[in-house]
Amino acid sequence: QLQLQESGPGLVKPSETLSLTCTVSGGSIRSGGEYYWGWIRQPPGKGLDWIGSIDYSGVAYYNASLKSRLTISVDTSKKQFYLKLRSVTAADTAVYYCARQDGYFESWGQGTLVTVSS
């Protein structure tokens, strides 16, 4: 059974870089290449926002609203993909989810809360 697990600091200072890792178990990131691996976030008490997605070869698609601050990368040998969001503000405070994407988001991690505060 595929499982995804987010990890990273729960507190980031304003203007710094938010870095998260998603570790995949019970399956391969390569998986024949048909899947994308995505990041989604949810500010407290609010709805869901797609951040960006990447395939096993490193082809990434970003939400244009975050593109100037965002890097998503993948390491298939470690079965991990990564999120880096630069110059964060309080507006970036959210629960961050990683997910496997077959068009739609089919399997989700449990999420990790990241708070931006000094």
Partner 1 sequence: DIQMTQSPSSLSASVGDRVTITCRASQGIGIYLAWFQQKPGKAPKTLIYAGSTLQGGVPSRFSGSGSGTHFSLTISSLQPEDFATYFCQQYDAHPFTFGPGTKVDIK
Total Cβ atoms within 10 A of residue 54:
23
Rg (CA), the chain: 13
Shortest separation between residue 81's beta carbon and partner 1, angstroms: 17
Q: Does 105 bind partner 1 (CB under 8 A)?
A: yes
* CA pair distance 81, 36, nearest whole angstrom: 11
Distance in Å, CB of 113 to partner 1, minimum = 10
Determine if 23 is a binding residue for partner 1 (CB under 8 A).
no
- Give the footprint of partner 1 on residues 44-63 (CB under 8 A): 47-50, 61, 63
Q: Summarize as ranges the residues that interact with partner 1 (CB under 8 A).
A: 47-50, 61, 63-65, 97, 101-111
